[in-house]
Structure 1
């Protein structure tokens, strides 16, 4: 039996490397969580802290939406250390409302899919077929209708996002003011307990301030 030539060996070696790279990518997909419906105010440290209770967060990558003129990361790919930790995140966030940054929008977690990764390698032996559609082709009119539909949806989406951003900014200010109010309240209580005012009021009203 004749041995393989040098070009054939090089082609075979390249094919094996592609197969190994794609297999490694598939393993990464299995341990990655697709995080959706998160607030635009959420950043990478916040996600690491929120999901760190389920295991070791290896990497966080926001999915950019190039179809809108706003820099609002609402989706992210969160790579955990192993598949078990990723499953724990998905299970917990599926069964219980999981807030991040205290925003009133429960974040959603789903298993990641290969097409979500911008750096995904091509599957081995995959053949891509492309063709131009001529104006006489029946699919040409379908493409034109889809193009106009996408433009209309984009305008509607942009208007909705502008409203959403304004509402979330308003909500963030309300939450900040509420936190300041609560801090002042507890600070006042602590001062009363330390300056003797609480003890005098307790004696006057006959109230026991002891732990029992």
Structure 2
């Protein structure tokens, strides 16, 4: 396959891929596949590295579907209805994927890139220094927020687990009352009719 055909094939892949973000750091590859397989056939899931945070916990992914129509339908559906993954208290957002999001993208045969060093006397050098300081500040803030967010999600997951256990115990209690005949005795006492279903 020559460079042009390879690039054309890559462009087709981009059309059938959606970009999802606002995910919980606890979400895994299999969880994303299970969530999106209900819309169509998921071909691959690629988590995007988060270079702005020191822990590199992915919060976004590229989900490649079988065809562009499935990808469009998912994006349209998620614009209307909030979509939760793993019961996390945050709706995942979906958008069409863009070329720049793929770290394995082939070189565009029609594009030429030139790089140059910035001299310390260049006016852009000062701008680059400010950006460098801003990135360090952002990394520290993002690290703190991530730590707090993970604590909050662990707390919510524990609460969710406790609620499920409590509800399960209630259903077991109700089943026990029904099986030991207490329900029939109470119905007879209060002159009520009980359906066997």
Normalising by structure 2, we get a TM-score of 0.94
Task: Decide which structure has the larger Cα Rg and report it.
Answer: 1
CA deviation after TM superposition for structure 1 residue 47, in Å: 1.3
Q: CA deviation at 1:198?
A: 1.5
> What SS is found at the alignment partner of 1:53?
coil
> Which of the numbers 168, 171, 177 marks the counterpart of 1:186?
171
1:93 alignment partner, one of 56, 61, 78: 78
Alignment of 1:68-87 (within 5 A): 68-87=53-72
1:9 matched residue in structure 2: none
1:133 matched residue in structure 2: 118
Residue 40 of structure 1: which of 11, 25, 37 is its match?
25
**Could you give the per-residue CA deviations for residues 16-40 of structure 1, whole angstroms, max 9, x where no partner exists?**
7111111100100100111111112
**199-208 or 46-55, larger mean C-alpha shift:** 199-208
Matched, 1:122 2:107: yes
Q: 1:198 to 1:71 in 2, by over 3 A?
A: farther
5+ long unaligned stretches in structure 2: none
**CA root-mean-square deviation:** 1.5
Distance in 1 separating the partners of 2:120 and 2:174: 77
* 1:196 counterpart residue number: 181
Higher relative contact order (CA closer than 8 Å, sequence separation 6+):
2
With structure 1 as the length reference, what TM-score do the two structures score? 0.88
Q: Which runs of 4+ in 1 moved over 3 A?
A: none
Q: In structure 2, what is the equivalent of residue 153 of structure 1?
A: 138
